[in-house]
């Protein structure tokens, strides 16, 4: 299914930071929503921040958001805890269209439904296995998976196992 | 990740869990390997078809041979996968069995604990005492019942009947009911016969 762009995407001024602060606030909010919707639709867990990507560049109207604009949008997202920088270079960020807590709950629900408590699972099995193909967390980025599992660990629902190159998780 | 090597708090991951995890990882690797080979097979098939169209028979044949070999590999990994998964299931089931056994053990222990609380002698003693108590009560009942003589009991019965008679309900008032509605029995047409008893009794009383 094709992503349906919002009307703003075809509106040239949308790609230029508006001088009027009120207008700019609304503009940035629309951008924030667009980034989240776009990433959710395309199942993007880790965003490579590039000016040339279709998210920030509309070739049909020949407009693109400036790096300053991208920076502002990402700042807003970070304030909302919807992204987290992967490292200090700020070239990649995790996009949380679901929070790690929400991912954790979703995975735990799946485990309960399948009667897999008290069972050891590999990370591969949880995100790439044949059984999870139709689950929302299929293809989940490993770093986000780990964060999600940590939230489950905090509530004693799971325990991450790591030893000698083996990684997995046991659910309770 | 506070739980690496279970240093922070008591880990609930057993050695068997770790073994299961390693087996499952092996399973994942086998699956990934199969995926890889299957894509290669698809590609080869496509290529062989293309070569045949271009009439490069020898090369196409070679490719099909390679494809056949790859397919055998997939079959072999299938068997390995089966073995690995079988082992995983066996291990998991063994753990379930162990848990069941543990529960049974705990149940058995507590049953023993409870049993320890009362010995057979205690129970016999309690039962004896109960029996004695019942007998004693019976004796008391007998004594109490025996305190009244038969004459007393007759007097009691008479008084009881007296009270019963007094407390019989009054005859209902006729005026309460519309007299026309009451169907009265018809007057007997015959002369009433004197009761035999009376006849029999009079001469006796006279004689006395």
Same-domain status, B160 and B92: no
- What angle, 0 to 180 degrees and rounded to 10, lies between the N-to-C axes of helices A21-41 and A67-79? 80
Mean pLDDT over B8-15 rounds to 76
Q: Do B20 and A120 lie within an 8 Å CB cutoff?
A: yes
Phi, psi of A163 (to 5 degrees): -155, 135
**What domain range includes position A159?**
100-171
* Overall domain count for chain A: 2
Within-domain flag for A2: no
The B residues from 63 to 122 touching A (CB cutoff 8 Å) are: 92
CB B21 within 8 A of CB A161: yes
Q: Do A159 and B3 lie within an 8 Å CB cutoff?
A: yes
| Domain end among A95, A128, A143 | A95
- Residues of chain A in Cβ contact (below 8 Å) with chain B: 119-122, 124-125, 128-130, 146, 150, 153, 159-163, 166-168, 170, 172
CB A68 within 8 A of CB A17: yes
Same-domain status, B44 and B55: yes
Q: Do A125 and B24 lie within an 8 Å CB cutoff?
A: yes
Rg (CA), chain B: 53
The yes-or-no verdict on residue B9 having pLDDT over 90 is: no
Torsion, Cα of B62, B64, B69, B75 (10° steps): 180
Q: Do A168 and B24 lie within an 8 Å CB cutoff?
A: yes
The B residues from 28 to 47 touching A (CB cutoff 8 Å) are: 28, 31-32
Q: What is the DSSP string of A104-164?
A: HHHHHHHHHHTT-TT-EEEHHHHHTSGGGTTSTTTT--HHHHHHHHHHHHHTTSEEEEEET
Same-domain status, B31 and B82: yes
pLDDT tens-digit series, residues A139-152: 899 999 999 999 99
ipTM: 0.77
Residue A78 distance to chain B (closest CA, Å): 23
Within-domain flag for B201: no
pLDDT tens-digit series, residues B95-150: 899 999 999 999 999 999 988 887 888 889 999 999 999 999 988 888 877 666 77
* Overall domain count for chain B: 2
Same-domain status, A112 and A77: no
d(CA B183, CA B176): 15
Question: What CATH number is associated with residue A144?
Answer: 1.10.10.10
Q: Do B17 and A161 lie within an 8 Å CB cutoff?
A: yes
Q: Are strands A158-163 and A166-171 parallel, antiparallel or unpaired?
A: antiparallel
Same-domain status, B151 and B83: no
Mean pLDDT over A79-103 rounds to 88
- The label of the residue with tokens 């922070």 reads B8
Residue from the list A146, A153, A161 with its beta carbon closest to the beta carbon of B21: A161
| Mean pLDDT taken over chain B | 82
Same-domain status, B17 and B89: yes
Kindly report the number of other CB atoms within 10 A of residue A84's CB atom.
15
Kindly report the number of other CB atoms within 10 A of residue B23's CB atom.
22
């Amino acid at each position: 299914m094709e992503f349906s762009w919002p009307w703003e995407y075809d509106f040239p001024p949308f790609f230029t930071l508006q001088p009027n602060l009120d207008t700019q606030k609304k503009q940035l909010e629309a951008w924030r929503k667009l980034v989240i919707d776009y990433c959710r639709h395309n199942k993007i867990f880790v965003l490579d921040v590039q000016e040339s990507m279709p998210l920030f560049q509309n070739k049909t109207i020949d407009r693109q958001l400036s790096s300053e604009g991208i920076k502002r949008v990402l700042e807003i997202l970070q304030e909302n805890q919807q992204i987290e920088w992967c490292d200090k270079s700020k070239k990649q960020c995790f996009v949380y269209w679901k929070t790690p807590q929400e991912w954790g709950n979703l995975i735990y629900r799946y485990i309960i439904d399948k009667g897999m408590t008290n069972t050891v699972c590999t990370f591969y099995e949880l995100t790439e296995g044949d059984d999870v193909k139709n689950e929302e967390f299929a293809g989940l980025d490993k770093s986000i998976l780990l964060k999600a599992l940590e939230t489950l660990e905090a509530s004693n629902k799971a325990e991450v196992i790591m030893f000698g190159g083996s990684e997995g998780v046991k659910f309770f | 990740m506070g739980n690496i090597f279970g240093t922070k708090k008591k880990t609930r991951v057993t050695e068997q869990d770790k073994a299961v995890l390693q087996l499952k990882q092996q399973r994942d690797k086998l699956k990934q390997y199969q995926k890889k080979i299957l894509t290669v097979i698809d590609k080869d098939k496509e290529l062989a078809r293309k070569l045949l169209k271009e009439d490069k028979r020898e090369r196409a044949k070679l490719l099909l041979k390679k494809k056949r070999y790859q397919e055998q590999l997939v079959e072999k990994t299938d068997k390995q996968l089966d073995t690995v998964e079988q082992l995983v299931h066996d291990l998991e089931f063994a753990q379930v069995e162990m848990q069941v056994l543990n529960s049974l053990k705990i149940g058995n222990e507590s049953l023993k604990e409870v049993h320890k609380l009362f010995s057979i002698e205690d129970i016999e003693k309690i039962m004896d005492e109960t029996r004695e108590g019942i007998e004693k009560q019976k004796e008391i009942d007998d004594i109490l019942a025996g305190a009244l003589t038969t004459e007393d009991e007759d007097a009691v019965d008479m008084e009881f009947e007296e009270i019963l008679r007094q407390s019989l309900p009054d005859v209902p008032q006729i005026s309460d009911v519309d007299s026309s509605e009451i169907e009265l029995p018809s007057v007997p047409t015959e002369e009433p016969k004197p009761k035999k008893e009376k006849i029999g009794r009079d001469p006796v009383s006279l004689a006395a």
